[in-house]
Amino acid sequence: MLTILSTPEWIVLLVAAAAIGLSKTALPGATTLAVALFAAVLPAKASTGTMLALLLVGDALAIWSYRRAADWDTLRRLVPGVLIGVVLGAAFLHVASDQMTKTFIGLLLLVLIAVTLLLMRLPRPPRIQGRVGRAVYGTLAGLTTMAANAGGPVTTMYFLASRFSVTTFLGTTAWFFFLVNVLKLPFSIGLGIIHAQTLGVALVLAPVVIAAAFGGRWLAARMNEKVFNPIVTALTIISALYLLV
């Protein structure tokens, strides 16, 4: 795979790797841009496997950058729903086509985004951290991340509605996706998604992820919530719309 990719294809992959790095330390919604770019160059399974390896690299840097900022109570409460969602996502991959998966998840995310934004605009917004809210968001996050590496929009909406500070938002997101991606690893190996060739491509692109993650950390330190929240929301909506194309 390393030798058959053309120069333009490598350029696309380099941009995608940079998007992964930025998504881990500054702009979570950029992950789906990487999904689109990888899918445009690599076969479906190779794309998913390569991305998962690079996401884990970005996750490691993100949890190092924001290791003291995570809201662990929130993470612990999401675990049961996420576990159920990952299992459902793995089962869904066995019966659904790629296009069916993308369309289903895209529609689901748009509905979820609309509902979450509406709740946040109410004079007295309900707390979505209750038992039902955690179960719904946790299950959907596990399902979408396992099925299409597209769990970012779900968790972004949940954490935005939780009204975290920028650093707490990024720290909680970092630990959440590190744990979820580690959980996905054995499923991905068992499905033949991760193998020597995907790891080879990931090894070449890993330095770009690392450099972009450090750049994202610098950027995040200079953004306040009035700038951060609208940018993340816009990227999340774009991410969901992409899945419908």
Identity of the amino acid at 52: L
Would you state the pLDDT for residue 238? Answer: 73
| Domain range list for the chain | 7-244
Task: Compute the distance between CA of residue 9 and CA of residue 185 in angstroms, rounded to an integer.
Answer: 26
On whether the pTM is more than 0.75, the answer is no
Burial class (CB in 10 A: 0-12, 13-18, 19+), 166: buried
Please tell me the predicted confidence (pLDDT) of residue 183.
86
CA pair distance 194, 204, nearest whole angstrom: 15
pLDDT class for 29, splitting at 50, 70, 90? Answer: low
Written as one letter, the residue type at 24 is K
> What is residue 126's DSSP assignment?
P
pLDDT tens for residues 106-133? 677 677 677 667 766 766 655 666 788 8
pLDDT tens for each residue of 207-242:
999 999 999 888 887 877 677 767 777 776 776 676
Query: If you average pLDDT over every residue of the chain, what do you get?
Result: 82
Q: For residue 28, give both structure tokens.
A: 């979570």
What DSSP character marks residue 193? -
Q: How confident is the model at residue 93 (pLDDT cuts 50, 70, 90)?
A: confident
**pLDDT value of residue 98:** 66
Q: What are the distances in angstroms from CA 233 to CA 81, 150, 157, 177, 227?
A: 23, 15, 8, 18, 10
pLDDT at residue 46, as a whole number: 82
Q: How much is the pLDDT for 94?
A: 74
**Nearest Cα to Cα of residue 240 among 138, 147, 130, 150:** 150
**Which pLDDT score, from 0 to 100, does residue 57 have?**
95
The pLDDT score that the predictor gives to residue 84 is 93
C-alpha span between 202 and 34 (Å, rounded)? 13
Closest CA to 32 of 242, 217, 192, 245: 242
Distances (CA, A) of 32 to 24, 28, 125, 128, 242: 12, 9, 28, 24, 8
pLDDT of residue 215: 92
The mean per-residue pLDDT over the stretch 149-172 comes to 79
Q: What is the pLDDT of residue 91?
A: 86
Give the pLDDT score at 55.
93
DSSP secondary-structure letter at 96?
A: S
* Cβ(215)–Cβ(21) below 8 Å: yes
